[in-house]
Chain A
Amino acid sequence: MTVPALAQRRTAEAAPSASRRPWRDDLVGWAFAAPFVILFVVFLAFPILASFLLSFTSFGLRDIANPVGTSVIGIKNYVDLFADPKFWKALFNTFYFVVVGVPVTLAIGLLIATALSRGVTRFRTAFRVGYYLPVITSIVAIAVVWRFLLNPDAGLINMLLGGLGIKGPAWLADPVFAMPSIIAMAVWRNLGFAMVVFLAGLQTIPATLYEAAGIDGAGRWQAFRYVTIPMLRPTILFMTVITTIGYLQLFEEPFVMTLGGPLDSTLSITMYMYQQGFTFFHQGYASAIAYVLFVIVALIAFLQFKFLRSDE
Chain B
Amino acid sequence: MTAIPAAAPAPAASISAPGSGRTAGSRWVYVLLVGGLVLMVGPFLWMLLGSIKPQADFLTAPTLLPSVPTTDNYSRLFDQLDFPRFFFNSSVIALAVTIGNLVFCPMLGYALAKLRWRGKRVIMGLVLATLMVPAGITLIPNFILMSKLGFVNTYPGLILPFLAGPFGVFLMRQFMYGVPNELLEAARMDGANEFRVFWSVVVPIATPVLATLGILTFLGNWNSFLYPLVMAQEPQMYTLPVALATFATGQYQADHGMLMAGSVILVVPVLIVFILFQRWITEGIATTGLKG
B-binding residues in A (CB < 8 A): 9, 12-17, 22, 25-33, 35-37, 39-40, 42-44, 46-48, 50-51, 54, 64, 67, 112, 115-116, 118-122, 125-149, 151, 153-156, 159, 188, 192-193, 196-197, 199-200, 207, 210-211, 213-214, 217-220, 223, 235, 238-239, 242, 245, 248-249, 251-252, 255-256, 259, 269-270, 273-274, 277-278, 283, 286-287, 290-291, 293-294, 297-298, 301
Contacts and interface: CB of A to CB of B under 8 A. Distances in A.
A255 B245 contact: yes
A274 B226 contact: yes
Interface of B: 11, 14-23, 25-26, 29-30, 32-33, 36-37, 39-44, 46-47, 50, 58, 61-62, 64, 103-105, 107-108, 110-111, 114-120, 123, 126-127, 129-130, 132-145, 147-148, 160-161, 163-164, 169, 177, 181, 184-185, 188, 194-195, 198, 219, 222-223, 225-226, 230, 240-241, 244-245, 248-249, 256, 259-260, 262-263, 266-267, 270-271, 274-275, 278, 281-282, 285-286, 289-291
The 4 closest A-B CB pairs, nearest first, are: A29-B117, A32-B111, A47-B141, A200-B286
A152 to B, nearest CB: 10
Contact of B181 (A16, A42, A298, A301): A16
Contact of A154 (B20, B185, B195, B256): B256
Given A141-B241, A252-B226, A67 B43 contact: no
Q: Is the interface of A mostly helix, strand, loop or mixed?
A: helix
Contacts of B244: 138, 140-141, 144
B221 to A, nearest CB: 11
Contact of A131 (B36, B141, B177): B36
Contact of B104 (A36, A67, A155, A196): A36
Contacts of A30: 117, 119
A219 B25 CA distance: 12
B40 A130 contact: yes
Given A43-B138, A219-B14, A129 B39 contact: no
A286 B278 contact: no
Contacts of B266: 137-138, 140-141
B37 A130 contact: yes
Nearest to B233: A278
Contacts of A251: 136, 225-226
Contacts of A29: 111, 115-120
B15 to A, nearest CB: 5
A145 B138 contact: no
A145 B46 contact: yes
Q: Is the interface of B mostly helix, strand, loop or mixed?
A: helix
A118 B181 contact: no
Contact of B270 (A50, A54, A136, A252): A136
30 contacts: A16-B188, A29-B117, A30-B117, A31-B195, A32-B115, A32-B194, A33-B108, A42-B145, A43-B142, A43-B161, A47-B142, A112-B36, A118-B19, A121-B22, A134-B43, A137-B266, A138-B225, A138-B244, A138-B267, A140-B223, A144-B245, A144-B263, A145-B47, A188-B43, A214-B15, A219-B11, A270-B226, A273-B136, A290-B136, A294-B133
Given A64-B144, A154-B58, A220-B14, A47 B194 contact: no
A217 B15 contact: yes
Contacts of A64: 144, 147-148
Given A43-B161, A242-B290, A278-B230, A256 B40 contact: no
